[in-house]
């Protein structure tokens, strides 16, 4: 029935988007991350090649397989030592509720991992419940406090994030409560738009001096991370390394956000798979691979993604959205509140509204109580443990006694795109496409 056929160009989603703009005069804003349906090469396009005759596997549940992760060995007097290579990324108190921030800190600490502050500064309870706390220095400098910085175990100078590289953070007025406004020195209820550039530096040459300032401020004790949103990764990673970073964080386009124009989430940056490969090439190209550690972020869902990122060159991974899902994001609870937002479990990306049905991305005291800190922390601990077990299982099957020994050679590509991007032969061939 041709008369009922929908356009492949003007799909129902496109029609809805055009009519939303016509109605409101405003581009679409939302939280979560990319909702693109069209596929691009991801970690799913790789498969591991466990041992058979050419390699000897380790006993899957018995033999030791180290997960210790050392970050910041280049210049810092006190590098970070984590029990596992899965870390919690920076998410602000403001985007997240107090309960969510504290639960993440507590859960990460129990699992021997780290958590990161975010735009808006450090919560005292976050520090008290963290084992290893990374203090973010963002372009907005909201809540910047040297005393807090000096309490941290590492400093992360954030240039951009994967969900929206090249632009600043957003926190809509519904979430700028009295406490958040006070913490950020803002008027209550404003739509807070963070700057895209740091206020006191512009390019990579300034950044060299900025990194030295942060080192001086912390007496060269703790590692300095530089975080970039994945766009021109090869060049950016080299510049970050030149600036003196101990650790470089590359955040791919599948990364999440509390609020952003949706066009940034869908149409900017490069996918995490490509980002990790470019980052490794860049560090190898300047002879710093292994000396500067690499953390990969952006849509990491499980131990499989993490293991593949490590095999491609990462020392550790950040999780953000996955951690929030572990806290019950998108879980079918309080269905009437999902409905009131015009959404449903498994399809909710309404973090920007501040009306999170499960108490994670809200500043509403009543909603926030739906997230119990201790129960949330336990789920985070469980999630981090389970992900680590998954990484170990894959590493042992590939004959590795340390998860960091995973390497590209342990995998085959399932698509020509992944083969070309990762420099790994396509399964069933001996060929790396594009070379």
Partner 1 sequence: MTQLNAADLSTRELNSRLRDLVARDDAEIHVENPGARHNLAVAMLKSGKIRFRGSVGYYCGGLADGISIEIDGSAGWGLAESMLGGTFRVHGNAGNGAAAAIRGGTVVIEGDAAARLGVSMKGGTVIVAGDCGYMAGFMGQKGVLVVCGNAGDAFADSLYATECYVGGEIKSLGTDAVASEVTDEEAAALESLLAANLAPELRALKPQARRFRKVVAGRKLWNFDKREWKIWREAL
**Total interface residues for partner 1 by CB under 8 A:** 34
- CB–CB of 257/212 below 8 Å? no
Q: Using CB under 8 A, which of 189, 204, 345, 399 touches partner 1?
A: 189
Helix, strand and coil percent figures for the chain, each rounded to 5: 35, 15, 45
In whole angstroms, give the CA distance from residue 46 to residue 410.
10
Fill in the DSSP letter of residue 44: G
Binding flag, residue 203, partner 1 (CB under 8 A): no
Q: Which stretch binds partner 1 (CB under 8 A): 210-218, 225-233, 237-245, 336-344?
A: 210-218
Binding flag, residue 5, partner 1 (CB under 8 A): no
Q: Which residues of 194-204 are buried (b: 16+ CB within 10 A; e: fewer)?
A: beeebeebeeb
- CB–CB of 172/29 below 8 Å? yes
Q: Which stretch binds partner 1 (CB under 8 A): 71-79, 195-203, 246-254, 263-271?
A: 195-203
Q: Which residues of 28-47 are buried (b: 16+ CB within 10 A; e: fewer)?
A: ebbbbbbeeeeebbbbebbb
Q: Which stretch binds partner 1 (CB under 8 A): 5-13, 23-31, 48-56, 68-76?
A: 23-31
Q: Using CB under 8 A, which of 200, 285, 339, 407 touches partner 1?
A: 200
Binding flag, residue 314, partner 1 (CB under 8 A): no
Nearest to 166 by CA among 142, 144, 194: 194
Binding flag, residue 204, partner 1 (CB under 8 A): no
In whole angstroms, give the CA distance from residue 378 to residue 103.
8
The kind and range of the H/E element at 71 are strand 69-71
Binding flag, residue 212, partner 1 (CB under 8 A): yes
Q: Which residue has the tokens 């990374």?
A: 134
Q: Using CB under 8 A, which of 40, 75, 220, 334 touches partner 1?
A: 220
Closest to partner 1 by CB, 181 or 237: 181
Looking only at residues 125 through 184 of this chain, which bind partner 1 when binding is defined by CB under 8 A? 140-142, 144-147, 149-150, 173, 184
Binding flag, residue 190, partner 1 (CB under 8 A): yes
Q: Which residues here bind partner 1, judged by CB under 8 A?
A: 24-26, 140-142, 144-147, 149-150, 173, 184-187, 189-191, 195, 199-201, 206, 209-210, 212-213, 216-220
């Amino acid at each position: 029935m041709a008369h009922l056929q929908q356009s492949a160009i003007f799909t129902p989603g496109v029609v809805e988007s055009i009519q939303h703009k016509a109605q409101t005069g405003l581009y679409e804003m939302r939280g979560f991350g990319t909702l693109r349906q069209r596929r691009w090469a991801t970690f799913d396009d790789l498969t591991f090649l466990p041992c058979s005759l050419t390699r000897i596997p380790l006993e899957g549940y018995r033999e030791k397989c180290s997960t210790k992760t050392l970050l910041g060995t280049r210049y810092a007097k006190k590098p970070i030592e984590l029990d596992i290579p899965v870390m919690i990324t920076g998410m602000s108190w403001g985007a997240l509720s107090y309960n969510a921030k504290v639960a993440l800190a507590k859960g990460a600490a129990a699992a021997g991992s780290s958590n990161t502050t975010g735009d808006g500064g450090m919560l005292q309870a976050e520090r008290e419940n963290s084992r290893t706390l990374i203090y973010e220095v963002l372009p907005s400098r909201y809540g910047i406090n040297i005393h807090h910085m000096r309490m941290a175990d590492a400093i992360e100078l954030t240039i951009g994030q994967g969900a929206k590289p090249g632009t600043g953070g957003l926190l809509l007025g519904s979430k700028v409560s009295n406490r958040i406004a006070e913490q950020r020195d803002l008027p209550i209820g404003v739509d807070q738009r963070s700057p895209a550039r740091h206020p006191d530096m512009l390019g990579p040459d300034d950044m060299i001096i900025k990194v030295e300032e942060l080192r001086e401020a912390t007496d060269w004790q703790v590692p300095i991370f530089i975080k970039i949103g994945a766009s021109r990764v090869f060049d950016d990673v080299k510049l970050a390394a030149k600036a003196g970073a101990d650790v470089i964080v590359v955040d791919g386009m599948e990364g999440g956000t509390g609020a952003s124009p949706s066009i940034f989430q869908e149409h900017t940056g490069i996918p995490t798979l490509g980002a990790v490969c470019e980052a490794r090439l860049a560090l190898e190209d300047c002879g710093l691979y292994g000396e500067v550690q690499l953390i990969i972020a952006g849509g990491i869902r499980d131990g499989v993604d993490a293991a593949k990122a490590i095999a491609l060159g990462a020392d550790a991974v950040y999780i953000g959205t996955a951690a929030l899902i572990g806290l019950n994001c998108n879980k079918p609870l309080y269905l009437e509140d999902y409905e009131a937002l015009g959404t449903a479990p498994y399809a909710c990306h309404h973090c920007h509204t501040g009306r999170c049905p499960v108490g994670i991305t809200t500043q509403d005291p009543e909603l926030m109580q739906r997230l119990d800190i201790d129960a949330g922390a336990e789920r985070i601990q469980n999630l981090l443990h389970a992900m680590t077990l998954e990484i170990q299982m894959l590493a042992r099957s590939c004959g590795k006694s340390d998860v960091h020994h995973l390497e590209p050679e342990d995998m085959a590509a399932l698509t020509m795109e992944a083969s070309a991007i990762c420099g790994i032969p396509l399964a069933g061939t001996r060929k790396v496409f594009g070379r």
